[in-house]
Amino acid sequence: MKLIAGLGNPGREYEKTRHNSGFLAMDRIAEKLHADVSEEKFEALTARVRVGEETVLLMKPLTFMNESGRAVVQAAAYYRIEPKDILVLHDDMDLPVGSVRIRTKGSSGGQKGMNSIIQALGTQEISRIRIGTDHDRKGDVPDFVLSPVPKAQQEEFQKALEIAADAAVAWITTPMDKVMNRYNTKEKASADSPAKEK
């Protein structure tokens, strides 16, 4: 069994914010897999789906971003899901809008939801899809991540969400190296199409 978790904050006031990139990508994943991520379980909204021979738990933690690990570790323990079979989607302000980066392990890079999951599972070897939201270095970080992507960048942002969702669906049945080669975008790509990262 595999688990895909899209990170964000519950509540209408957070719906369109940068920090909810994982939730927004999960909505697209659910649409592609004809799933309804609405069952409340493990302090999260969840859905179980079959993709080929794989059973997948889709998850949107309701714990707020900084406690995302609580939801993920509950589901992982209940279904005996190994860290290697977990994929996390989250925002990354160190990447430009339109960028998608896929990694199989590493530190949280300061992303508090990812850090919570790493701490809860006790390992950095967790695959993640990072969705670029950029950052105005002059501004306040909490205010920035809890603000919406501006209209001028919406097209690039929406394309990145689509690429992230496609990559997550592909990950279910495709080796990760192939997923990375296909869906990692170049640093300044417009995200018109998946491109191999150099």
153 pLDDT band (50/70/90 cuts)?
Answer: confident
How many domains does the chain fold into?
1
d(CA 118, CA 133): 22
List, as one string, the DSSP characters of 103-133: ESS---TT-HHHHHHHHHHT-S--EEEEEE-
Which one is predicted more confidently, 40 or 14? 40
**Domain holding 175: CATH number?**
3.40.50.1470
The rounded distance, in Å, linking the Cα atoms of 56 and 58 is 6
Whether the per-residue pLDDT at 139 is higher than 80: the answer is: no
Would you say residue 158 lies in a domain?
Answer: yes
DSSP-assigned letter for residue 9: -
pLDDT in tens, 34-52: 999 999 999 999 999 999 9
Identify whether 90 is part of a domain.
Answer: yes
Establish if 111 belongs to a structural domain: yes
Which pLDDT band, with edges at 50, 70 and 90, does 193 fall under? Answer: very low
Model pLDDT, residue 108:
83
**What's the residue count for the chain?**
198
Q: Quick check: is 153 in a domain?
A: yes
Note the pTM of the prediction, 2 decimals: 0.88
- pLDDT the model gives residue 136: 60
Side chain identity, residue 133? T
- Count, in order, helices (H) and strands (E) of the chain: 6, 7
Report yes or no on 190 lying in a domain: no
Tell me whether residue 198 is in a domain.
no
Q: Catalytic residue numbers?
A: 19
Residue 33, strand partner residues: none
Q: Does some domain include residue 166?
A: yes
Contacts of 171 (CB under 8 A, 6+ apart): 4, 87, 127, 179
192 has a pLDDT exceeding 60: no
pLDDT at 142 over 70: no
Residue 103 domain boundaries: 2-183
Is residue 193 in a domain? no
Which residue reads 């592909």 in tokens? Answer: 170
